[in-house]
Chains A and B, each alone.
Chain A
Amino acid sequence: MARRIFLYSILLALCCGCSRNATQRDDVRKLTWDQIVRHARGQTVTLAMWQGDPLINKYMQSFVVPGLQNQYGVTLNLVGGQGNDLVSKLMTEREAGKGESAYDMLWINGETFYQLRQIDDLLGPFTDKLPNSKYIDFGNRFIRYDFQQKVNGYECPWGNVQLAIIYDSAHVQNPPRNREQLATWVEAHPGRFTFDTQFTGLTFLKSLLYDFAGGEKELQGPFDKNKYTKYSAELWNYLNSIKQYFWKQGKTFPEGVAQLHQLFASGEVDFTMSNNDGEVDNKVLQGIFPDTARAYVLDSGTIQNSHYMGIVKTAAHPEGAMVVCNFLISPEAQFEKTKPAVWGDGSVLAINKLPNEWQEKFRNIPQRVHAPPRSEIQPRALMEPASQYMIRLNEDFRKQVVER
């Protein structure tokens, strides 16, 4: 009898110890960094991320995963997942009252960050705990704000990019530099232009929305329904007037940017685009794009934004997740992914805050060959508008353009 009680007690204790509650997870923020690193050792951290680019996947698998294992004893498990799907899944977990999420951290920005804050499913603030956060350029408004929302330590900046249009200079001598020229060009070259319906395409639409609004200032701040209605109507009119000259007469659009890149690479269209202004170089180096591919930014400007790492509030391994974040913003990891041959993603670190040896390295990163340097396109960088603009554009693009 006593043995049975003892065994049941052990079982009960094990069950109680198996899952953390929110209070215990909040206590993570009270630990010192050394304690966090100690707790993280041996943990398996699940990171849900978009896996649509083979080079990014290779960087994560070949550099980040082994780096974390060697330096911190943390095993990083990468799983595929995209913004809205992940939020939906986390919502279902909350509905089911699940104490521990299936994911520890997510690659997010913008509307995903907004939605996760809405349902209060992000751990934070936590970035102040990361030793490498002292190098982050929080003075840069493109990093400090995510879709007009201050990050406030609830997500850790990871990279910074600007939307660029990519074309083949062997076939296109004078690429259109504004929307009027774009309309003229597509009419003269029917079937040779399109954009995707996911993040990159929506970023392109937002850039055009700014143009209709007369510039960045008009759409800054919280979502304004009247402004959205007014300027989006102009945007839909513009697109519908030239839609017939798009690829497949505008009756369908590539589902994602990878498909758009494939169409460009196979010669079906003359343009593609990327949220990453440095992507053209690494695609050319891979042999996917022709050597004559070039990138540029519209005269009216394109959106520059940062992407981030968030830690799920109900993460099973918050310590491990924080160690992963700290590794990702280390000078080594940031330097590696900035190389065009690896990823070409912009760094979120302030070079002048880095140790001297790293300042030297960052200043001598191989320069872009097929895209203009960031300094040249920075004056035409536009801040992301509030998340609801993207949410509304995503819905209305389907109704006002695709289904018309």
Chain B
Amino acid sequence: MGLELPILWLSVLMFGGLGVLLLLGLPMAFCTGSLAVLFLFLFGNSAVLNMLPSRIFPFMTDYQLSAVPLFIFMAAILEKAGIIEELFDVVYKWLGGLKGGLASATVISCTLLAAMVGVVGATEVTMGMIALPAMLKRNYDAKLACGSLLAGGTLGILIPPSVMAIVYAVVAQQSLGELLVGSVFPGLLLSGMYVGYVTLRCYINPALGPALPVDERVSFVEKLRLLRRTILPILLIILVLGVIFLGIATPVEAAGIGTFGAFIVCAAHRQLTWDTIRDAGIATLKATAMVMWIFFGATMFVGFFILKGGQTFVSDSILGTGLAAYGVLILMMVILFVLGMFLDWVGILLLTVPIFLPILKGLQFDGLFGLPGVASSDVPLWYGVIFMVNMQMAFLSPPFGYSLFYLKSVAPPQITMATIFRSAVPFLFLQAIGVALCIVFPAITLWLPKMVYVAN
């Protein structure tokens, strides 16, 4: 129809419309997609609509994106193999003698699982089913127990392999390998902070997380024998991450080999049946369809917004505040946090990265407090990892955080939603500290990719 509207009003109309439709409960993928169609028709003509398939088709034929279903499939097969129970069992027998040992064991098992799994859902749910009752039975503080589960389970999407890294790599045209390698230390940093926090609290006040009674602890010889059960999972971690880090195969191929390895692990646990494969395949299908359809819808929406000058508009408004480079970055972090309270990470990534990243690329990051800064060629990688760490908060921030709902769905009835909300708060602070550390010390993110990729 060829209407014209100043960009300010267009932005208000687009994002206002998005907000209203989301509140009315239309799935994210269809909100963005339908608004894009509507606006394309109103502000262009029906012929412009033909760009719809030609924008979607490149995502259907994207090589990197096929790692998304493969990593999800691998996770589903491993969960079916019972690897979560097994790892938790071993780790908790090792740490049982410490104060808060079960909570630390939860975080550490989640970290190990995160190195095999690229999503959050099923790990969080299964760990919730086994670790939460175990901790409550031994009189752990409910908030500490829930918090360690929430924070630990969410690491799944940060520590490589990570589905979020794949999506970011495709949207930002950034090397996936570098991104995966770059997120190793931030992931371990967060994991270490969680363990440190839990242990510290339990040593100050042992009533929060008492150590196992002496007669329930296992001997050292028994502990060594238990280690045998971790051989297969650890081999699998080494296989997948080793293949990616050494550049032997692409991340997509690594996902393929990893899933093959998961088949063998599942068979060795005598759980590999056609029924297992069917269940895992369907769970994968649903999770992938959810991510990909948001891709299809949001790419149209953002594409239209940028076409109409939205990019320059946002850039001018943010830079017009007169903030320095780091101020702009912090402002973006705050925006991401607020969006994270309501939206899930796929939507946030697809809506914000195409708009924010070009702004950041044009800025100079010379380092804070006299510390070394970030070269402009490293900004997409650096921002990618900071974004991923920030999105950890999106999983935990009420009112709409996935991890909260996953945990609630398996928690015993005496654990109320209010308890879960409150248990997330200290861990949200830890995550915010993590984001700050990654901003102040870019080397946490950038050092390992440089080592790995210059050496190759």
Q: Do A and B come from one complex?
A: no
